[in-house]
Amino acid sequence: MRVLHLLILVLGAGIFMASTCRPLTNKDLDKLTPRIQMEKGPCFGSCPVYTLTIYEGGVATYEGQRFTTRQGLHTKLLATNTYRELIKTFQSANLWSYQNAYKAQIPDVATVTITYYEGDKSKSIKGKDGRPAKIEELEKMLTAIADSGGWEQQAAGENYGMPPNIIANELIVNLSAEADPNVWIIQFAKQDLQIVKRLSPNSPYWLFRFNADRIGPNEMLEWVRRDPYVLSAEFNQQINGTPRND
């Protein structure tokens, strides 16, 4: 894993051992100094939702959340000239002279937040459409990095960061009698939502399983709960080590 070996040189001893080449975690990244971050939020369609962070020295992380080809935490090491040119462009942009937020004219497009760190200072600029041309130019540079190749997936974290009694990729959903579960799940095809079983022959409660590598468990639960045919939804849980609805 070439990228991880390079990351070892950048991160230094004490973050993780070269002999194990274990994947990076958020705890490792907390020891790095961020320089640039771009957060792309949701829209009313299928806009990619992710966070791109560039750290001192060129370590980059991509955390895909929704409607992205890469889900979860990914890392890469930027080429030296790419990193230097990026920092130079941000320094010359004088972001301190811009507003912190720009009012949107088109409300259903994604909100983009770009943050630049310089020493003890930081500047965040948030907006949708209607931002200054220079800010949109910086966004294009960062988007090009996010869309580039060479990313390596890192550990998703134990149980996707959920409590140990929670089955992070299973939901118990109380569906309206008007909904056909086989049709209802089609809208969640990208999350690979599948019917596990009906909890009892005439019960409105269904057990579903989804791919937690494609979407975070809490995000999936929130999304399902917003559906008009869903009366309630919760994670399946283990009781004494056994799934509650096994």
**Are residues 71 and 65 in contact, defined by beta-carbon separation less than 8 angstroms?**
yes
Encode pLDDT of 126-183 as tens digits. Answer: 999 889 999 999 999 999 999 999 999 886 667 777 888 999 999 999 999 999 999 9
Q: Any idea what the CATH number is for the domain that residue 173 is in?
A: 3.30.70.80
Q: Are residues 138 and 168 in the same domain?
A: no
> What pLDDT shows up at residue 237?
94
> What pLDDT shows up at residue 105?
84
Instruction: Using the 3D structure, point to which of 153, 168, 188 is the last residue of a domain.
Output: 153
Neighbour order of strands in the sheet with 72-77 = 121-127, 112-118, 34-40, 49-55, 59-66, 72-77, 152-153
Q: Are residues 176 and 228 in the same domain?
A: yes
> What pLDDT shows up at residue 161?
75
Instruction: Using the 3D structure, point to which of 105, 122, 153 is the last residue of a domain.
Output: 153
Helices 80-92 and 133-146, packing angle to 10 deg: 160
Note down the domain range covering 173.
Answer: 160-243
CA dihedral of 143, 147, 148, 151, whole degrees rounded to 10: 110
Could you tell me where the DSSP H helices lie in 40-180?
80-92, 133-146
Encode pLDDT of 185-219 as tens digits. Answer: 999 998 999 999 999 999 999 999 998 877 889 88
**Residue 246 vs residue 190, higher pLDDT:** 190
Distance CA 50, CA 116 (A): 17
Band (pLDDT 50/70/90 cuts) for residue 70 is confident
Q: Are residues 219 and 181 in the same domain?
A: yes
Encode pLDDT of 6-57 as tens digits. Answer: 454 445 333 433 323 556 666 677 789 999 999 999 887 788 889 999 999 9
CA dihedral of 213, 216, 222, 225, whole degrees rounded to 10: 20
First to last CA, the chain: 39
Q: What is the pTM of this model?
A: 0.62
Q: Are residues 73 and 177 in the same domain?
A: no
> What pLDDT shows up at residue 24?
65
> What pLDDT shows up at residue 243?
66
